[in-house]
Amino acid sequence: MSNIALNSIPEDFIKLLQNQIGLESDNLLKALQSNSYTSIRVNNSKKIENFIDRENISWCEEGFYLKTRPNFTIDPLFHAGCYYVQESSSMFLAHIIKEIGMNLKKINVLDLCAAPGGKSTLLLDNITNDSLLVCNEVIKSRAQILRQNIIKWGKSNVLITNNDPVDFQKLSNFFDLIVVDAPCSGEGMFRKDKNARNEWSLENVNLCASRQKRIVHDVFQTLKLGGFFIYSTCTFNESENMENVRCFLKELPISLVKININESWGIKQLENGCFQFYPHLTKGEGFFCAVFQKNEVEISNVYAKKVKPKYDFVSKSNVDILKKWVNTENLDFLHINQGIHAIPVLNIPDISLIMSKLFVKFSICSNVVRRIV
């Protein structure tokens, strides 16, 4: 990728940066005019390695930098879901999951703003196979892209929903972990994305900060007491990052969680649980994240009622037919919305509850089964 000129970076952004980090802003602006890095994350259930000239990403075991950028669109392994092309800074989520122990037990996870699917596929590789991931995208066209990437990844313990964040209040006290990679002003992508530079404005920063607060407040009551909440943006500014964090701490029953990192990684820890990636300090783009835990105190939530679902199981004779094409181990097959969905047995009660409350766009195995039957 060619270098970008300094005059293509919004002047108001430069002033904002100078006020925020002082002399360090010069080094950051120089980094924004340099070449970006190409990074991928391999699918740990497929383990097909076709890149020899690569370098490990310190905070993600499955992540690698590539010295040259190949033509991914003509690589069959890319279309087979053997790896995902993902920005290295955002792979820090893998380290957080392990630090808070969410990779060790059966949990329910919500990726609220999931498209195009980078963090969702990362979550699938870092939670147990009996856990359940719900990937949500409010925009229908983006939900379709998310669906395609989830299908390629090939895991069965996942649902895709197409709902507004406020709709999840029907599932109070349901999720052990919520990830909100919030829609933002995109400052961290200036080096890679011309549109991000052209569309940036102070007005848009303020609009994004306000929307981010609404999204978090809308979804918060669906987090279990003691559950973990990860908030992230691809920005540098205080309004969308630390100011929002202070607002969450003031208005919600949450606390920041200490996450250990290696100083050699170059990640700036703003305070316990809050991290900023700067492209002049790390090999990646701009990224911010904060890790919270919901305080274990009783609050006035209306919890999701445990309804007794009605299951419409596929007949044994049809399941026997499916066995010729589908690995049916630990799966049950249900008739849902004029299709047949293959669902992990342990996840059926939770999936049934979700389907009774939200619009479910896709259960990962459903299209495979519908083609067969």
User: 């011309």: which residue's tokens?
Assistant: 194
82 in catalytic set = no
Catalytic residue among 60, 113, 234, 289: 234
Q: Is the peptide bond before 116 cis (omega within 30 degrees of 0)?
A: yes
Whether 288 and 236 have beta carbons less than 8 Å apart is answered as yes
Cβ neighbors of 60 (< 8 A, separation 6 or more) are: 41, 88, 91, 92, 94, 95, 122
Strand bridging mode 274-277 / 268-271: antiparallel
HSE (side-chain half, CA atoms, 13 Å) at 288: 24
Which residues does the annotation mark as catalytic? 234
